[in-house]
Structure 1
Amino acid sequence: MSSYPEIPLTGSVTTSVLVNIRQGSPSLQAPVAQKLAPGKTVTILAAVVGDSVEGNAHWYRISANTYIWAGACSAASPPNITASPQENSIDLQQIPLVVDLYHGDEVTSFQQAKNAGLAAVIHKATTGTSGRDDEYDNRRIDAQNAGLLWGAYHWGTAANITQQVDNFLNYARPDKNTLIALDFETTPGNQMTAQGVKDFCNAIYSELHRRPVIYGSNLLREKLGSTRDPFYLDHRLWLAQYSAHPTLPVHWDSYWLWQYTDGPHGPAGCRSIPGIPGNSLGHLDCNYFPGTPQDLNAQWAS
């Protein structure tokens, strides 16, 4: 059995290019056990996070100890998540490893939050072509001084994508250690489209050679379609869903991060973090990461 964090799956994929089967680990350094020609159908056992290839760190485990890179495959039959030890072992009672914030959330001490167990902050940077969060810069300094990982998210709108990307990059100023996320959520009268999601992600990749994490909830199902699109497998999913057992949009095999509560909603679990009181009602977005702090650090800005 793999020693890497994984989500058990049932299903099959078809190779779209010549692909190497790696022995021992989902890594480009692992020995090649076999090569598969394009058009080969392979049964998959699990989705695994491994080496990032062209900005995509998703791999499939296809036997007890062999792996193929997910970016070289398309779905032959949509994989289904099976009951997994990972799901059964989820503990939401601990201080979450990741919190997401915006200017409306109060922060009194990132150091206190770090000491309590927090590992990372994803902060709103921009909205559309001109919106900018005025707490972003100071909190970035304070969070990093406290030893926390830092991420920046952009709230996408219907506005010109090139101008949105410029607004984000010029204000967020992401470095090689900054996680980048696109917030795709309901925006009445100014809704980003599915094509806008792709255009934004592709533009970020062209600039930084890293693919943004995509954040969303039911809108992902409503706007991205019901036909599996391999484009999205290249992007980690940050799923917002306040049920005890989150279900995935068809385009993803697993979530990378799960926003399980916005404060008042969600399953029983930790909803407060020392040093971060949250908004005026005391509500706070808390996120579950299915791995260790070391795993999070290794995958953060990949």
Structure 2
Amino acid sequence: MIFAFSKMFKFILLLCFGMIWATNGEISNVVIDLSHWNNVNFTKAKADGIVAVVHKATQGARGVDETYATRRILAENEGLLWGAYHFGTKGTPVKQADHFLATVGDTKGVLLMLDVEENKGKEMSPSEAEEFVKRIKEKTGRYPIIYGNRYFLRPYHLENLNECPLWISHYTSASQPTLPSQRSSWTLWQYTDGKLGGSPKTVNGIGPCDRDRYNGSIQQLKNRWPNL
């Protein structure tokens, strides 16, 4: 009897771990990232299955997306998860971080993201990005997620940057993105810009736009937001 119970207990443990493994293998296509360039109807987007929106807040040390504040209210009124991103530029990383946080306002519940990409020689360098994320961590207690493509992110391999979750940009219809050599996993994956990449490329109420997959279930996304 004891032996039979032991076997049953082991079976239940294996079943549970198997269920956990299966859940961790799930990918959810419910995130979009936007800026003032996009027209939005968050009611329709939510009805189309969108769960989370990450919106441009700032660029450089002074730039502000003029639609950010209003759209945050509209999205949160719909019960959508909200995130904000900063487009990093050359110079003054600490000032940029402070500008970003001042524009975001209350960061509780807001996913924070640093966008680093080629910008005609005016892009934020790895050392500057390191200072930016350190400042965000100092002010909020958490690191932002870092966004970029596998080629551009290769030199962004510094101590604090390595602590940031990865939002990889790779426009492809493949089942997984290709990562920078220093990374072994991804958290968010921008798989299309609305033109290139996988499908679907559009969202009701918005049209063609940047769409993103989350490396987990929808419930995991909701549970972990904004600490992905």
Letter aligned with residue 263 of structure 1? G
SS at match of 2:70: helix
> Deviation of residue 113 (structure 1)?
1.0
CA deviation string 1:244-302 (max 9, x = no partner)? 241111222210000000011113x111111112xxxxx31000112222111122211
User: 1:254 maps to which residue?
Assistant: 185
Over residues 89-147 of structure 1, what are the superposed CA-to-partner deviations in whole Å (9 max), with x where a residue is unaligned? 768xxxx310000001111x201111221000000000000110000011000000001
TM superposition outliers: structure 1 runs of 4+ over 2 Å: 1-7, 229-233
RMSD: 2.1
Distance in 1 between residues matched to 2:160 and 2:95, nearest whole Å: 22
Equivalent in the alignment of 1:130:
62
* Runs (5+) with no aligned partner, structure 1: 8-47, 49-85, 278-282
**Range with bigger deviation, 116-125 or 250-259:** 250-259
Structure 2 unmatched ranges of 5 or more:
1-16
Percent identity, aligned pairs only, is: 38
Q: Distance in 1 between matches of 2:39 and 2:102?
A: 25
CA–CA separation in structure 2 for the residues paired with 1:6 and 1:180: 28
2:169 matched to which residue of 1?
240
Distance 1:5 1:288, change over 3 A: farther
> What does the per-residue CA deviation read over 1:205-237, in whole Å, with 9 as the maximum and x for residues that have no partner?
00000110000002102x326xxx554442110
The aligned residue for residue 273 of structure 1 is 203
Task: Compute the displacement of 1:5 (Å).
Answer: 6.2
2:104 corresponding residue in structure 1: 172
- Give the letter aligned to residue 81 of structure 2: L
| TM-score of the two chains, using structure 2 as the length reference | 0.84
1:35 paired residue number: none
Equivalent position to 1:219, from 152, 157, 160: 152
Q: Which has the higher contact order (CA 8 A, sep 6+)?
A: 2
| 2:202 is the counterpart of 1:263 | no
What is the rounded CA distance, in whole Å, between the counterparts of 1:5 and 1:97 in structure 2?
21
Alignment check: 8 A CA contact 1:140 1:150 kept: yes
Q: What is the SS of the residue equivalent to 1:219?
A: coil
C-alpha distance 216-147 of structure 1, shift in aligned 2 (>3 A): same
- Secondary structure, aligned partner of 1:216: strand
Cα 1:4–1:175 change in 2 (3 A) is farther
Which letter does structure 2 place at the counterpart of 1:110? Answer: F
Aligned equivalents of 2:92, 2:195: Cα separation in 1: 34
Q: Over residues 132-172 of structure 1, what are the superposed CA-to-partner deviations in whole Å (9 max), with x where a residue is unaligned?
A: 00000110000000010000000001120121012101111
Higher helix share: 2
Q: Tell me which protein shows more strand as a share of its residues.
A: 1
8 A Cα contact 1:232 1:252, kept in partner:
no
- Which residue of the partner structure matches residue 203 of structure 1? 135
Pick one of 22, 35, 45 that aligns with 1:102: 35
